[in-house]
Amino acid sequence: MSGFFSYAEQTVHYFTRPHERPALAPVGGPAAWRGADLARSDSWRTPLRPAQVDELCRALASALSTGKPTAELTAADFPLPTLAAEVRRWREAIEAGPGLHVVSGIPVESWTQAESETAFWCLGLHLGRPGAQNAAGDLLGHVVDTGEDAADPHVRLYRTASHIAYHCDAADVVGLLCLRTARRGGTSRIASSVTVYDELLARRPDLVPLLYEPFPLDVRNEDASGRLRWIPIPPCCFADGRLRTFYHSDYFRSVTRHDDVPPFTPEKQALIDLYEEIAATPGIYLDMELRPGDVQWLSNHTIVHSRTAYEDEGTAGGKRHLLRLWLSLDHAVA
C-alpha cells in the first residue's frame, strides 16, 4: 500500500459518510461557530515558538538527509519529539472542535521553495494521509494564477486570480501554506456549514430535506477516462449527532450546462441561493489574511471556504503562492 491515496481512493473515502436520517432539529455543537465570535478569540491559532521552529528545521534536515523523493517520505523521517503532541491537538480541533486551526511562524522565508514543499508534506504526514488533488495525481498543489481563463468550465479556479465561491474539497482536510501574498485581495473566507444548516432550518425548514437528496455535481473534466461528466452527491449526511456537509457552489451551479441535467426545480434553486446568502452574512463568516509562514487547516465536513479575487505584483517572482495538501484523517501514515 502506498503512503498516499489516489484521486479516486480519496474521493471514495471522503464521500463514504455515515447517514442515519435528516437532522430536523438544530445540530449545534463546537463546529457551529459564528465568525464574529471566532474573531474575538485566538483559541484556533498557534504561533510557533522559536524552539518549535528549530524543531521543524531539524526535522526538515532529517528528511532531506534520507535522500528519498518527497512522496516516499514518512512521518518517521520528519521527527517531531515535542511538536507531535501539538499536531494531535490541531487534529482534535479539526475533527471534534471548530473544524479549523491556523499555525503561524513556519520559516518559509528562510527556506527554498523545495524545502518548504518537503516540510509541508511531512507536517501533513503527522496529521493524516495525503491524497491526489486531481486526476493527474498531483499530491502537493500550487495555488497560483497560471493565467488560465476563469470562464472556461474545465479550468480549476484555484489556477486563476478570480473569486472562488463557497465550496468543500473532496478530502477530510485541506491545508494551505502561504509562501507569498498578492498585492491586493486573496482573502480567505470561511463559514461553519453547521451554522449555515441551523440557520437554514430556522428560516426555511421545508427546504432542509432537499440537502439529503442527490445534487448533480459537475466533474469539470476531472475524470481520467473523459466519459464522466457529472455525479450525484447529497450535500448532507447526518449520523451519531454529527452533520457532515459537502457543498460546491460553482460545480453545483455549472452542472446544468450538460444536456442530460435538467434545470433546478424552483425549490432547489431557492435552497442553494439561500444557503449561500446565509454563508455570506456578516457575523456568520470569518475572513482571514494568510501571511507567509501561515498554515490554514480546514475540515471539509464542517466548513465551507471561499476566496476573494486578487491582483498580483505583475512579475513571476511576486505571484501569490500557496501550497495545498488534501488529507484523510482516518488513515494516518506511520
What residue segments make up the domains of the chain, in order of their start?
7-328
- Least confident among 21-25, 117-121, 183-187, 224-228: 224-228
Give the Cβ contact number of residue 20 at 10 Å: 10
Cell readout for 195 is 451554522
213: Cα separation from own chain's centroid: 23
Q: What whole-number distance in Å separates Cα of residue 271 and Cα of residue 199?
A: 12
Average pLDDT, integer, range 242-249: 97
> Which residue did the predictor score with more confidence, 33 or 334?
33
Reduce the DSSP state of residue 175 to 3 states and report it.
strand
| Banded model confidence at residue 204, pLDDT cuts 50, 70, 90 | very high
Q: For domain 7-328, which CATH number applies: 3.40.640.10, 3.40.190.10, 3.60.130.10, 2.60.40.10?
A: 3.60.130.10
What's the whole-number average pLDDT of the chain?
93
First to last CA, the chain: 12
Percent of the chain with pLDDT over 70: 94
Q: pTM here?
A: 0.93
Average pLDDT, integer, range 116-145: 95
Planar angle of CA 25, 26, 32, nearest 5 degrees: 160
- Least confident among 118-122, 203-207, 248-252, 282-286: 248-252
| Banded model confidence at residue 223, pLDDT cuts 50, 70, 90 | low
Beta bridge partners of 217: 231
Burial degree of 262 (CB within 10 A; 0-12, 13-18, 19+): exposed
Q: What whole-number distance in Å separates Cα of residue 283 and Cα of residue 301?
A: 21
Whether the pLDDT of residue 1 is over 50: the answer is: no
> Which residues, 6 or more positions from 239, have their beta carbon under 8 angstroms from its beta carbon?
17, 18, 19, 20
Beta bridge partners of 236: 245
Average pLDDT, integer, range 156-171: 88
Question: Can you give the pLDDT at residue 135?
Answer: 85
